[in-house]
Structure 1
Amino acid sequence: MNAYVAELVGTAILVLLGNGIVANVNLTKSKGNGGGWICVAAGWACAVAIAVYATGRFSGAHLNPAVTLALASIGSFGWGQVAGYIGAQMAGGIIGAVLVYLTYFAHWGVTNDAATKLACFSTAPAVRRMGAAFVTEVIGTAVLLFGILAFGKVALGAPSGQEAWAAVVGTWFGPALVGLLIFSIGLSLGGPSGYAINPARDLGPRIAHAVLPIPGKGSSDWQYSWVPVVAPIVGGIIGAQLFVLLGF
């Protein structure tokens, strides 16, 4: 599979399963209605792990412009592929959001609150302070990149003669560890801003929300939309640079 196609498919899976759990928990008359934050965090963790398992061998499963740019900033990914990866990730985010819309098609009309509908696509701060939300997203994405790089370093740093075992661990347990990292970030750092930590996961679905014929959907909140795009990019680069600077 072409790496760009893998990034598109992987990001679509990520958003379908991730935003799908948000819709299941929040939309009126959904069987998962009221499931709460633990369900959301667990659903996103599983979504990431499954998407990475599905596409990692083809593209490295960045699935996130912040990851792509952070890796390029430390020389671990070629700048020539950055635009293609980000374009594929954005397209995948839109497609995944459309699939969520279709999956829960019967529930948009019976859900009255416009903010609840938007939450099934994009994030919003719990307390509407842009600067505070920006800092939260920077910290969350820095932790994400630091963790991802740490997992990779452990696999690459196997003692002589154990390289094959390290490769097996990286292939089969690496995606699960990334999912566990997402679970931890969601539980610990996700409350203030909804932990977008991924521009494609937020902007792609926000675009879908703006264009889809969702009854009573209200605003797509473009005033806030720059925070979950810019902050994760800043945080990802900070996390990657710190990992290199500290000699991990």
Structure 2
Amino acid sequence: MSTSDIFIGEIIGTAVLILLGGGVVAAVVLKRSKAQNAGWLAITLGWGFAVMTAVYMTGSLSGAHLNPAVTVGIAIKDGDWSNVPVYFAGQLLGAMLGATLVWVAYYGQFHAHLTDPEIIGTRSEHAGLVDQKTEPAAGPVLGVFSTGPEIRNIAQNLATEIIGTLVLVLAVLTQGLNDSGKGLGLLGGLITAFVVVGIGLSLGGPTGYAINPARDLGPRLVHALLPLPNKGGSDWGYAWIPVVGPLIGGALAAGIYKLAFA
């Protein structure tokens, strides 16, 4: 794989991942969406199908890492870090592009939701619980773009992201890689999609299971930049956890792989 293939493949793949993954969240939570209140099962299945679609679309170009934690895990496994910055750059840009496309696709629903008096009133009630000197209260649609915990406990939130990502990356390393070991294979894409659904159902409740630094950071940046009315803050105080936690989880998964499977 050439550097340009990796960069283009990761941009396209991660953009599709976030477009379909963030799209299902928007469909479930935003007012005047036909899928409103479809529930957590719809979200987890949507993210699983998003992974599968993105992997099969771009696997031949870049190996379809689509996740810096997966890239780190494969780099530790192989001892080759030469293309890691290219993967990271493509993944972050792709995630930002995908989040922007979600905004375009649901433009009317975002406006209807964020100008609804009931939604604005609910946000105002919670705003008083946030220290306004540090950051405004998180907006009511931040969850379309990025993750957040149900209970704010740094140790628990970090541990949850580490554990979930460890499962994902270990599954990729043991079952999902293609013959070259540089990315997801044909069967590996399907396996990984089911693993993502499983993680969402089993471990997604506490934090929303980012398990992917680019998936969280890129859309969070887009949320901060988009001209959304009444959007509130982007919760930057929490933003490091879905970046650091998955990277630690990916590294631990690679360590376990080298000790137990290599």
Fold-level match, TM-score > 0.5? yes
Aligned to 2:27: 24
Q: Which amino acid aligns with 1:7?
A: E
RMSD, aligned CA: 1.5
Percent identical among aligned pairs is: 45
Q: Distance in 2 between matches of 1:130 and 1:115?
A: 21
> Would you say 1:102 and 2:100 are equivalent positions?
no
Give the TM-score, by structure 1 length.
0.90
How far residue 57 of structure 1 moved from its aligned partner, in angstroms, is: 1.1
Is 1:6–1:55's contact at 8 Å kept on the other side of the alignment?
A: yes
Aligned to 2:57: 54
Instruction: Describe the SS at the equivalent of 1:116.
Output: coil
Runs of at least 5 residues in structure 1 that lack an aligned partner in the other structure = 157-169
How far residue 151 of structure 1 moved from its aligned partner, in angstroms, is: 1.0
> Would you say 1:232 and 2:246 are equivalent positions?
yes
Aligned to 2:201: 187
Q: Distance in 2 between matches of 1:220 and 1:226?
A: 12
The runs of 4+ residues in structure 1 deviating greater than 4 Å are: none
Moved more, 201-210 or 65-74: 65-74
Q: Distance in 1 between matches of 2:44 and 2:23?
A: 12
Q: Distance in 1 between matches of 2:252 and 2:233?
A: 32
TM alignment of 1:80-159, pairs within 5 A = 80-111=82-113, 112=119, 115-152=139-176
Aligned match for 2:221, one of 191, 200, 207: 207
Instruction: Describe the SS at the equivalent of 2:233.
Output: coil
Aligned match for 1:173, one of 173, 176, 187: 187
User: Aligned pairs, how many?
Assistant: 233
Q: Which amino acid aligns with 2:86?
A: G
How far residue 41 of structure 1 moved from its aligned partner, in angstroms, is: 0.2
* Deviations 1:172-216 (CA, angstroms, capped at 9, x unpaired): 432111100100000001000000000100000000000000111
Q: Distance in 1 between matches of 2:224 and 2:103?
A: 12
How far residue 171 of structure 1 moved from its aligned partner, in angstroms, is: 4.4
Give the TM-score, by structure 2 length.
0.85
Is 2:176–2:191's contact at 8 Å kept on the other side of the alignment?
A: no
